[in-house]
Amino acid sequence: MGSRRKEKVENDNNKKRKAISPIKSIKKNKQKNNKSNEIEKISPTSASASEQLDFFVEQFQSANALHLSSLELESLKDTCVLELPQDSHLDVNALGKDIKPAFGASWKEVLCEGKLVQGEIDAGSPAVLVISSSALRSIELLRGFRSFTKECHAVKLFSKHMKVEEQVSLLKNRVNIASGTPSRIKKLIDIEALSLSRLKVLVLDMQPDVKGYSLLTLPQVRDEFWDLFKNYFYPPMIQGDLRICLYGPYQLAVRLKGKKGYADKE
């Protein structure tokens, strides 16, 4: 009788162990996923220009519900993407230094000089334009260009605490570097205050905010960006006159796209 009771207790214990093991495996999987996410955050800019271009084209087609023709795809070469050093996004202050090589030996004339040249350099026509999802981030990224803006000040193109009239006035001078948000940038182009005649590098800020949203995923801002890009930046890009620069962890910027309630959880 005692041996039967002992066997029953052992069987009950074995059942409990079997019931616990799946929970342990779930915890282990979560730990593995967390580690993979950490790796993704550490080395986001290791992708080649070709991989970055494929990513961007995929996002462009998906967001606009379109399929580029084979002729258009052939026109989009790897040279359309300006590659930055790995993990360059970890130091905002180095952004200008990392972009400078795109202008070759004439970088100082293009990015630093402050005088208008009739027939060559139009007023309000930046050579570098930075697009972010917020005014604060736009200002933060301009820190990377401080050494270039002593003679020719950078222009802030966002709506927070800035009137359109004030920006129109600033754009009547020479502008080499500008930074702003999609909505205000489009408005200034539409009223012909902001010119794109000198634009060579378009920096797209991929850094997610505290809630995980980025330029490509933040509602409304995302739609405003793609509308702006499709109408004003896609044509010169496909012609080879404009290069885009994905600044920051762009894989992470869309990793949580479409996950409902993410912002609330954060």
CA distance 3 to 21: 27
Let me know: does 205 contact 248? Beta carbons within 8 Å. yes
Q: What is the pLDDT of residues 92-115, one digit of tens each?
A: 899 999 999 999 999 999 999 999
State the pLDDT at residue 223: 96
State the pLDDT at residue 41: 41
Tokens of 105: 């030996």
Nearest C-alpha neighbor of 51 from the set 254, 261, 258, 246: 246
Let me know: does 158 contact 137? Beta carbons within 8 Å. no
Beta bridge partners of 112: none
Let me know: does 52 contact 250? Beta carbons within 8 Å. yes
Tokens of 76: 């989009």
State the pLDDT at residue 22: 46
Q: Can you state the percent helix, strand and coil of the chain, rounding each to 5?
A: 55, 10, 35
Q: Left, alpha or beta for 155 (phi > 0: left; psi -120 to 50: alpha)?
A: beta
Q: Which residue shows structure tokens 């905002």?
A: 92
State the pLDDT at residue 34: 47
State the pLDDT at residue 249: 79
Q: Left, alpha or beta for 65 (phi > 0: left; psi -120 to 50: alpha)?
A: left
State the pLDDT at residue 256: 44
- Write phi, then psi, for 108 (nearest 5 degrees): -70, -40
State the pLDDT at residue 117: 86
State the pLDDT at residue 27: 47
Give the pLDDT of the chain (266 residues) as one tens digit per residue: 555 554 554 555 554 444 444 444 444 454 544 444 443 443 344 688 999 999 999 999 999 999 999 999 999 999 999 998 877 777 889 999 999 999 999 999 999 999 998 888 999 999 999 999 999 999 999 999 999 999 999 999 999 989 999 999 999 999 999 999 999 999 999 999 999 999 999 999 999 988 889 999 999 999 999 999 999 999 999 999 999 999 987 655 555 444 433 333 33
Q: Are strands 128-131 and 201-205 parallel, antiparallel or unpaired?
A: parallel
Burial class (CB in 10 A: 0-12, 13-18, 19+), 107: middle
pTM recorded for the entire structure: 0.78
State the pLDDT at residue 47: 81
CA distance 212 to 92: 19
